[in-house]
């Protein structure tokens, strides 16, 4: 059994960059001419909470002069007085999450329904005519009603994707970024905060997203599908930390120990993301694609867009 070769990933990345995210490409080009850009919100195919197809939002792409970091209560109070987002302030320890984000050495993002507007495995299943069957397993896994490894094995056994199936899927249905996530990651990277993608999804589908967002390949923790010599599905690599329940806490511990980060934030939409705090010092739940009540209840801070996070990152320099 062999993991997909590098040339396939490179080809897929080129196709992804060329065929999807036209607004991101245009935005990046405009950055050389202006300190602001307008990001077109791409339509979401998520049936739970479809995004509008023709909405526009203004983001600052230039960090403001960064201030000394006050305590979390002071940061929270400033946004209660002058909110920068239409989303209400929700969470069980918002001040902790805001201060941790302001001071973070590293921020780890889930990918499906957080960085992108869909569940990658569901998109793949749809292209293979197995959508409803796989989607039911995805919902169980994301809501925390079943062990992740059981849901992963069951879904892969249903679709059994070949290497060509995955290539064709990305060609026919290019994945789309959640509105504002590119601006948030750019702000974090400019500030010197390390960004990681930690996902129960598949490297073949996630590494092209990472490349578009400027996330280093060794900062991607995801699952590896195995293929035989003919490119047919042959299983998945069970040694990947994210292939099992409690895999994201394991991945974040590995990251923290390897790099010695003092402050780390986890951002995501699912139950497996909430599990990652600790070792993350704060968990920010994301509901911009789908709101999961169990995640909302566990989140230090629950957001439905990235606007306030972008403002905090631009305003404060991590320590």
Q: Which of 110, 122, 182, 273 is catalytic?
A: 110
**What region does 219 belong to: left with phi over 0, alpha with psi -120 to 50, or beta?**
alpha
Note if 237 is an active site residue: no
Cα end-to-end distance, the chain, whole Å: 44
Find the catalytic residue in 71, 112, 143, 305: 112
Active site residue 110: yes
Question: For every residue of the chain, which 3-state class applies, written as one string?
Answer: CEECCHHHHHHHHHHHHHHCCHHHHHHHHHCCCCCEEEEECCCCCCCCCCCCCCCEEEEECCCCCCECCCCHHHHHHHHHHCCCCCCCCECCCHHHHHHHHHHCCEEEECCCCCCECCCHHHHHHHHCCCHHHHHHHHHHHHCCCCCHHHHHHHHHHHHCCCHHHHHHHHHHCCCCECCCHHHHHHHHHHHCCEEEEEEEEEHHHHHHHHHHHCCCHHHEEEECEEECCCCCEEEECCCCHHHCCCHHHHHHHHHHHHHCCCCEEEEECCHHHHCCCCCCCEEEEECCCCCCHHHHHHCCEEECCCHHHHHHHHHECCC
* Enzyme catalytic residues: 110, 112
């Amino acid at each position: 059994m062999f993991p997909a070769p590098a040339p396939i990933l490179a080809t897929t990345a080129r196709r992804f960059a060329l065929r999807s995210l036209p607004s991101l490409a245009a935005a990046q080009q405009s950055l050389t001419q202006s300190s602001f850009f307008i990001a077109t919100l791409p339509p979401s195919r998520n049936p739970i909470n479809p995004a509008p197809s023709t909405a526009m939002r203004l983001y600052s792409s230039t960090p403001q002069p960064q201030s000394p970091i006050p305590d979390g209560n002071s940061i929270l109070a400033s946004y209660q007085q002058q909110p920068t987002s239409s989303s209400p302030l929700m969470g069980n320890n918002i001040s902790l999450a805001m201060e941790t984000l302001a001071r973070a050495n590293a921020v780890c993002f889930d990918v499906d329904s957080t960085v992108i507007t869909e569940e990658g495995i569901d998109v793949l299943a749809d292209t293979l005519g197995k959508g409803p069957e796989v989607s039911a397993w995805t919902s169980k896994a994301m809501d925390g009603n079943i062990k992740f490894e059981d849901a992963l094995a069951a879904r892969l056994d249903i679709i059994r994707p070949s290497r060509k199936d995955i290539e064709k899927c990305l060609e026919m249905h290019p994945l789309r970024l959640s509105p504002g996530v590119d601006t948030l990651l750019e702000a974090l990277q400019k500030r010197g905060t390390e960004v990681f993608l930690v996902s129960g999804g598949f490297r073949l589908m996630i590494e092209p997203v990472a490349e578009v967002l400027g996330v280093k390949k060794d900062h991607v923790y995801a699952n590896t599908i195995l293929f035989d010599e003919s490119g047919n599905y042959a299983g998945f690599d069970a040694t990947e930390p994210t292939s099992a329940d409690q895999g994201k806490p394991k991945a974040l511990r590995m990251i923290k120990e390897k790099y010695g980060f003092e402050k780390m934030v986890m951002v995501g939409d699912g139950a497996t993301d909430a599990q990652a705090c600790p070792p993350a010092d704060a968990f920010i739940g994301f509901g911009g694609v789908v709101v999961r009540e169990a995640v909302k209840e566990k989140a230090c801070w629950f957001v439905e867009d990235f606007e306030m996070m972008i403002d905090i990152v631009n305003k404060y320099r991590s320590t």
